Structure 1
Amino acid sequence: MKQFIAFVRKEFFHIFRDRRTMLILLGMPVVQIILFGFAITTEVKNVRVAVLDPSNDIVTRRIIDRLDASEYFSVTTNLNTPDEVEKSFRRGDIDLAVVFSEQFANHVYTGDACVQLVADATDPNTATTQTGYAANIISSAGREMLPAGVQVSTIVPEVKLLYNPQMKSAYNFVPGVMGLILMLICAMMTSISIVREKETGTMEILLVSPVKPLFIILAKAVPYFVLSFVNLTTILLLSVYVLDVPVAGSLFWLIVVSLLFIFVSLALGLLISSVTRTQVAAMLASGLILMMPTMLLSGMIFPIESMPLLLQGISAVLPARWYIQAVRKLMIEGVDISLVLTEVSILAVMAVALITISFKKFKNRLE
């Protein structure tokens, strides 16, 4: 055991001596969480709104004032005819148009009033978000100003948003960034560290030491396990105190599931190291097999349900997909651990399978 601890300390010293590695390990999580939390966002703000209001009554004016007062919309244009709506879109002057029916206030009491939201759907996601925000604001304004007995649904269907009523994109990105960072640090850095020993010819020297080959491999994995836990703590602190993303569920089970995912990632890194001979090959394998699929197919950015069946099948073998789903349930929705057993079971099976294959292939390569 003393020899194993000595090898672990050696690996820690080796990592701490390399400033570039330390910058990647400890700086990348901070940069990514800030970027995804603030810069790379799906929220809409300062949307230019044009209003076509033929009635110009007190109800429509209050709704328009409420839209203009929000941080998301800015009423810039008042239109006079329906033809001006399309012309304004073609000129690029507006992003959203709000069209009220004639004699709007009178029709509210008869249930015939209607509001039409017109958006540029060349970017479907942005258009959906813009109309969703506007519908929610109009519905809220109507509910506050109309007398009792008048159905708000006659103006705009009410929208209710669970778990993330402010529609902050950080709620979606934080679990994905956690999965991406832990996957890259554990898998990519571990595989490169072991392959470096093979490439430079020092692995054979380590193998003739009194320590068994299995403990040598574990000694190289332990530092990245510890650093991954440090990064997990950093991400959670930044999420809660900087991005205002709460941990709605159990912090204990969130950490337990994260440690399981770290173990899976380490096993994957060992597997990559067993099938590659150079650091360049390990980097390419990590980038092609881990980074891009994790970003595109794990549900981090794009919903899995919208993907073709083939891509859904590929995403099912990505550990990050199940980890991100589990984190969203535990951290954002605040569910009990019993409702995350499917994701935890899949990660546990992956951990056993990957570590078994990795050690077996690694041992065969070294003998």
Structure 2
Amino acid sequence: MKAIIIGAGIMGLATAWGLARRGHEVELFEQGPVPNPLASSMDEHRLIRHPYGSHVGYARMIDDAYRAWELLWADLGQTLYEPTGTLALTGNGADWAEKSAAALASIGKPMTELSMSELPQRFPLLDTKGMERAFWIDSGGGGVGRGQGGGRGPAHPAPPQGENHRPTPGGAPPGPYLYFGFSAPKRARVLREHAPLAPLFGAALVAAALLHPLDARAHAVIDGGTAVAGSYHKLVVRITHGCDGNPTLAVAIDLPEGVTGAKPQPKAGWEVSVERRPLATPVRDGHGHTATDRVARVTWAGGRLEDWQFEEFAIQVRLPDRPGDTIRVPVVQRCSTGEHRWTEVPEPGKEPVRLRNPAPALRLLPRP
């Protein structure tokens, strides 16, 4: 299919990116520069948070938006997201924070109410005068970027009215800055190959709508989505949900051929075990030894991860020296009732977004 999109604002760019990922030919037209500084969605940073007052529908969309961000980072080749947590505040008789806490509790994402006395210690930059109640949730943060002219912007988004975020000791560091470009087919003509897309939150929601219920529904993802080929790498698999509301009791990660030197990271409250398989050809391990087998599966069991929580399971590995390849890391998530098998691998020439239970992907980049 050939698609012509008029307008390279937030909707146009995100739609073009989604269509290009599915293999369609895309032409994108914009009357001004990309991004257009006059666009309503143009800015250097955006935040994402679960609290949305009583709007449960918005709160439910955030998890899908996070999963869409993982796709953005994978295509971009780097992660440009700063996790901060979210502090919801009310005063002068307002009840937005209370409504947010109640709405999130109803969908299994409870906030923690903080006392007014502890706020100055936890948030020394916060003026608490006039504040009446405060609620905290660990999720939330900011996507940051810079405009076409190369100007600098703050690394942390400025808090909107009614919110504050965990300050960085010593002030916010410079950068990072975002340039976002979607990868179109060779025949596609896009007016700008690497069009900056600063308003990531809205783009993620659009991408979630385009891709759901495919990759965007995945509960197991690899943090970052990219790594340097042939390098030692901390492979982090994030589990974001249980099984239809049931808690996760075990996570098994299968390491594909070519991934060697695996060392799992221990996790308090979980027992870790490994399964080894012989190598077809012995390899040098980089420490003067010859390895004749490798770790093929790592399993964490005996813990308990509630559906409303997330957790990360890490393995230090040496990646195959195949820049440009994408390796798939199957994950089996066992719950108190049922399981999720994130094990589907795309066939040659088939887009991974067509899969309902995709194995998490890691794209191998050339050495800098």
- Which TM-score band (shorter chain)? under 0.3
Length-normalised TM-score, structure 2: 0.25
Larger Rg: 1
Determine which structure has the larger strand proportion and give its number. 2
Determine which structure has the larger helix proportion and give its number. 1
